[in-house]
C-alpha cells in the first residue's frame, strides 16, 4: 500500500486510530494524540494504512542527511511487515539515504536487514 503523502482524510485517520493510539502508548517522545493528528493532517507525517495495521513515517533532514524515520507502527505483525517494502521504496523515491526505526528491541530479530546503531535500527536505502 502507498503512503498517504500530503493531506490525509480524517476518515482514514479514524480507521487507523486504534492502531495509532496503541503505538503512541509506546512512543518514547510521548507525542500526544492531538499532535499526531495535526502532523498527519498537515502532511508533516505520512500515514501507511494496511489491512490489520498502520504505520507513520516522517522524512527528516539532519546533519546533511535525508532519512526516512519509521516512527509509529501497530497492529498485526505480518500486516506491518507487508507495509515495509512500500515504505522503503517511497523513502528512496523521496531521496532518503537510509531508514531508521527506534522501536522495541524485538524488531532487531525480525528486521534482519537493519543494523543496530545506538538505540535505533538503521538500513541503508541507497
Distances (CA, A) of 2 to 35, 49, 74: 23, 8, 17
Q: How confident is the model at residue 7 (pLDDT cuts 50, 70, 90)?
A: low
**What pLDDT digit, counting tens, does each position of 90-100 carry?**
999 999 999 99
Contacts by residues 14-17 (CB-CB < 8 Å, ≥ 24 positions apart): 15/49, 16/47, 16/49, 16/54
Q: How confident is the model at residue 6 (pLDDT cuts 50, 70, 90)?
A: low
Q: Taking the domains of the chain in order of start, what are their residue ranges?
A: 10-124
Q: What is the pLDDT of residue 1?
A: 45
Whether pLDDT at 46 is above 90: yes
Fold of 10-124: Aminopeptidase (3.40.630)
> What does pLDDT average to over the chain?
89
Whether pLDDT at 18 is above 80: yes
Q: What is the pLDDT of residue 109?
A: 85
Q: What is the pLDDT of residue 26?
A: 85
Query: Once rounded to an integer, what is the mean pLDDT over residues 9-16?
Result: 91
Amino acid at each position: 500500500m502507498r503512503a498517504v503523502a500530503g493531506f490525509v482524510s480524517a476518515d482514514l485517520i479514524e480507521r487507523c486510530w486504534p492502531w495509532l493510539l496503541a503505538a503512541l502508548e509506546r512512543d518514547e517522545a510521548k507525542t500526544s494524540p492531538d499532535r499526531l493528528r495535526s502532523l498527519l493532517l498537515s502532511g508533516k507525517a505520512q500515514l501507511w494504512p494496511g489491512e490489520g495495521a498502520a504505520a507513520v513515517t516522517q522524512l527528516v533532514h539532519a546533519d546533511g542527511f535525508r532519512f526516512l524515520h519509521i516512527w509509529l507502527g501497530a497492529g498485526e505483525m505480518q500486516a506491518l511487515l507487508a507495509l515495509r517494502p512500500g515504505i522503503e521504496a517511497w523513502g528512496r523515491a523521496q531521496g532518503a539515504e537510509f531508514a531508521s526505526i527506534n522501536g522495541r528491541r524485538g524488531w532487531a530479530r525480525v528486521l534482519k536487514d537493519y543494523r543496530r546503531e545506538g538505540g535505533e535500527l538503521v538500513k541503508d536505502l541507497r
